Amino acid sequence: MSARSRRRRRAGPPRRTPLSPAASAPSAGASAPPGAGDAAAPDSPIDPALAARRVAVRNPRGRAARREPGERALTELAEQTEVGEVLLRSLTRAQLMLAVRIFTVFGCLLLGLPALFATHPGLADIRILGLPLPWVILGGAVYPLLVLLALLYVRQAERNERDFVEFIERS
């Protein structure tokens, strides 16, 4: 057997050898926890009961290096930290601004029609299928406009959410 192979550590728990004969033999009146006498010397500042337990020492940065993309941001969201609140506030703000823009467009068109008819009274004389033009527009054309704006809103809101998820996965 070479010197190198003799120096290799064997698998299994480490060997514990007493530091001194007094450390391995407890006094007659004191009862030491099992296995505590051979783990630390009696003058050691470490409690013998704690010294007998095995402790795994790990690199604290080992887990951070293996994190998947987006795991940190998802953790921030799940734990509702300040960073998570900022992320959610940004999504909420984007959705609110989208709703305000859609509402503004609809409001301008809906309120602009009566203004248009008031400034141009000749439009009220135009008849479509026997109905005056203002009635046709306000009674029939507004609803397809509402549906188009609703579809636009849903499409843009889903895009905002998709962008938010992509941002979370990248971070």
CA atoms within 13 A on the CB side of 79: 9
- Sorting pLDDT into bands at 50, 70 and 90, what band is 140? confident
Tens digits of residue pLDDT in 29-64 = 455 555 544 555 557 677 777 777 766 677 666 655
Residues 68-77 have a mean pLDDT of 72
CA-CA distance, 49 to 118, in Å (whole number)? Answer: 92
Size (the chain), residues? 171
Which pLDDT belongs to residue 42?
Answer: 57
pTM for the predicted model, two decimal places? 0.53
Least confident of 22-26, 83-87, 108-112: 22-26
